[in-house]
Structure 1
């Protein structure tokens, strides 16, 4: 009975195509931010990159048809299920608090160089 009930909450596996698309996006841009338009932490992240005049690719998960699937794919790849999910030079650095911490420690500009 328990397995039957928990099966209602299980998601379909993420297709290899979605994982491939995520990895392609991450590897095709110096900075990638997976975001949602209404998220205040995402806004803070985008504002910091703007303040630094840093070009970045933003994927607004609430504005793309497969956004929830992409977010589940990101969680599968990185273990992080929240936004913003930030990548620099193909490596995940985490979310907004991680980005702000790197900036306040003076380490962010080195990553962006």
Structure 2
């Protein structure tokens, strides 16, 4: 069971950043997402779940929120975009989404 505090923390990160990426430092899909966002000049907040004490609980909270357990989990303008393959599939519209969210 995920604590209310952890759910609040996750929602707070999503709400207070134009782009939030929940990642793991060793994950190649996470790296691809971060490289894509960087190449588009986006400002984004990354939380490396494998490098923080409550990373597993945050991942549990994300699963409750999005229905997905895998990383990366990407949010643009507080909207869940999906994982890396979802982000890459929307590459053509990313500049518009990032601009609308205030991330570029």
Question: TM-score normalized by structure 1?
Answer: 0.86
- Give the root-mean-square deviation of aligned CA atoms: 0.5
Which residue number in structure 2 is paired with residue 8 of structure 1?
none
Cα deviations by residue, 1:57-85 (Å, 9 ceiling, x for unpaired): 00000000000000000000110100000
SS at match of 1:82: coil
Question: TM-score normalized by structure 2?
Answer: 0.93
Gaps of 5+ in 2: 100-104
Q: Kindly indicate whether residue 45 of structure 2 is the aligned counterpart of residue 57 of structure 1.
A: yes
Gaps of 5+ in 1: 1-12
Number of residue equivalences = 99
Q: Which is greater in Rg?
A: 1
Which residue number in structure 1 is paired with residue 67 of structure 2?
79
Cα deviations by residue, 1:9-47 (Å, 9 ceiling, x for unpaired): xxxx10111001100000000000000000000000000
Pick 1 or 2: higher relative contact order, CA cutoff 8 A, min separation 6: 2
Aligned-pair distance for 1:101? 0.5
Which residue number in structure 2 is paired with residue 111 of structure 1?
97
Alpha-carbon separation, structure 1, partners of 2:79 and 2:37: 16
List structure 1 segments (4+ residues) > 2 angstroms apart after TM superposition: none
Alpha-carbon separation, structure 1, partners of 2:98 and 2:41: 11
